[in-house]
């Protein structure tokens, strides 16, 4: 599996898992973006060929929701500067997508990395576990 080994005390790891689960639940109920950011990310996904030209923001958000609802998706912690971010990777139509969001449940981005393992390793993502093990409804 890609990503680093979970580090820190048992309490730290459990707190990260709980924070990730809370943010995922928020996003499952409604995919939220910073104001105006969804249109820019959608346009970039179209230009990059990740989404078809006719894809809408709703299509993009539906794909994100599908990744976040897949029990086999993997959840990561991504410490960046002094802020905790979380990410979920999962396959949709045989393409592995990475969904990145803040602990507040607000989207940062979602895209299919060319090499997921390399992307995660170079940026210091830490695997927390599988969706079905961490997020309980």
For 47, the domain range is 10-133
Q: What is the pLDDT of residues 23-79, one digit of tens each?
A: 999 999 999 999 989 999 999 999 999 999 999 999 999 999 999 999 999 999 998
Q: Does residue 1 have a pLDDT over 60?
A: no
Residue 117 has a pLDDT of: 96
59 within a domain of the structure (yes/no) = yes
In whole angstroms, what separates CA 17 from the centre of its chain?
Answer: 13
The residue with greater pLDDT, 4 or 43, is: 43
Cβ atoms of residues 16 and 84 within 8 Å: yes
pTM listed for this prediction: 0.90
3-state secondary structure of 117: helix
- Count structural domains, the chain: 1
3-state secondary structure of 24: helix
1 within a domain of the structure (yes/no) = no
């Amino acid at each position: 599996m890609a990503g680093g080994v979970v580090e820190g005390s048992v309490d730290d790891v459990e707190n990260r898992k709980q924070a990730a689960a809370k943010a995922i639940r928020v996003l499952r109920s409604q995919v939220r973006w910073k104001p105006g950011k969804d249109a820019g990310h959608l346009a970039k996904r179209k230009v990059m060929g990740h989404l078809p030209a006719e894809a809408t923001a709703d299509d993009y958000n539906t794909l994100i929701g599908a990744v976040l609802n897949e029990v086999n998706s993997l959840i990561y912690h991504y410490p960046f500067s002094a802020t905790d971010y979380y990410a979920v990777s999962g396959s949709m139509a045989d393409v592995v997508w990475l969904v990145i969001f803040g602990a507040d449940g607000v989207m940062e981005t979602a895209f299919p990395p060319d090499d997921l393992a390399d992307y995660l390793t170079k940026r210091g993502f830490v695997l927390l576990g599988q969706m079905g093990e961490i997020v309980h409804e």
